[in-house]
């Protein structure tokens, strides 16, 4: 610590009691029927969380459901500046 620097003492404050949700074990059921156990604040101990969307069905993970957009910003830009003679 540099000479002349003041030290600051902080008072330790404990966590507030009785405001945190209970953390317990639940069962998660995927859309294909497979299950696994995890810890969560969802529901009550032993509850089953049935998923509507999961990595086995959602297009973000499966790669399906892509759409080609014909009028996107890049397409509009290229149409607007096509006659400027710039080639990429």
- All structural domains of the chain with their residue ranges: 19-60
pLDDT tens figures, 4-35: 666 777 788 887 888 888 899 999 999 999 99
pTM, 2 dp: 0.50
Pinpoint the alpha helices (H) of 1-88: 59-62, 73-80
Q: Which residues contact 65 (CB under 8 A, 6 or more apart)?
A: 59
CATH architecture, range 19-60: Irregular (4.10)
Mean pLDDT of 43-47: 95
């Amino acid at each position: 610590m540099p000479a002349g620097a003041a030290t600051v003492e902080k008072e330790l404050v404990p966590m507030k009691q009785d405001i945190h949700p209970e953390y317990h074990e639940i069962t998660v059921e995927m859309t294909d029927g497979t299950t696994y156990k995890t810890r969560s604040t969802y529901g009550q101990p032993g509850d089953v969380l049935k998923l509507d969307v999961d990595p086995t069905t959602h297009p973000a993970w499966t790669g399906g459901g892509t759409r080609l957009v014909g009028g996107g910003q890049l397409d509009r830009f290229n149409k607007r500046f096509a006659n400027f003679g710039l080639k990429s």
